[in-house]
Chain A
């Protein structure tokens, strides 16, 4: 791992900081405008989830180089209450916060790879990768 940059999510302005970091790195890596928008949106959703459900956590960005492919990895982690039913939060329209319920299933569609680990009362970690085409 040669590059990692993190933003602590404590208040709602940190959501803005996280997506600005993501957008800058995406630009630097050479992603096109549509992918930049996808990445920025994905980070915004993940950072907001941390803020809304866990209160605090972090969003980290890594540059990924695997088998000649390069891309960007987003790691959103918190030590919040965890998710009781992961299958349910991956359904479109499911929300416990009065939002649109687009967050996690939306992030999965916006990114190329998506992984979620959550343990009740221990926290949640979401990892998502976008590859440069």
Chain B
């Protein structure tokens, strides 16, 4: 199953609604980079409000998506990380250092606007 990527002005919006298996996560990585390329989007919000756990593999994929998008010239903000997910990730030893985050979709869009200065 593919994760839908929506375009909103200069931004791309992604809401991950179901548990990610490895293949879906890697497929998403490619789809998103392709979509950034096609639309010349300057910012991306990935919302994880519905996700109730993240393991080291998914964390690596998300961290990589952030770095790869940056390489292409687009900023990524990850939003909506649940308390249980934050606790588990830190205990696991994954801090997603350097990845831009915000509390929710709204704050994520505000952060992108500040970062991109528009």
Most chain B Cβ neighbours within 10 Å, of A48, A93, A100: A100
Residues A13 and B21 in contact, CB atoms below 8 Å apart: yes
Residues A100 and B87 in contact, CB atoms below 8 Å apart: no
Chain A residues with a Cβ under 8 A of chain B:
12-13, 15-16, 19-20, 23, 33-34, 36-38, 40-41, 44-45, 48, 92-93, 99-100, 102-103, 105-106, 109-110
Partner of B23, one of A12, A38, A41, A100: A12
Please list 25 pairs of residues, one from A and one from B, whose beta carbons are closer than 8 Å in the complex, sorted by A's number. A12-B22, A16-B21, A19-B53, A20-B19, A34-B83, A34-B87, A36-B52, A37-B82, A38-B87, A38-B88, A40-B52, A41-B55, A41-B88, A41-B92, A44-B57, A48-B55, A92-B93, A100-B60, A102-B56, A102-B59, A102-B93, A102-B94, A106-B91, A109-B93, A110-B91
Whole-angstrom distance between the Cβ of B105 and the nearest chain A Cβ: 21
Q: Does B103 lie at the interface of the complex (its beta carbon under 8 Å from any beta carbon of A)?
A: no
Q: Given A41-B55, A45-B55, A109–B92 Cβ distance below 8 Å?
A: yes
Residues A41 and B54 in contact, CB atoms below 8 Å apart: yes
Residues of B within 8 Å of A36, CB to CB, are 52-53, 84
CB closest residue in chain B, given A48? B57
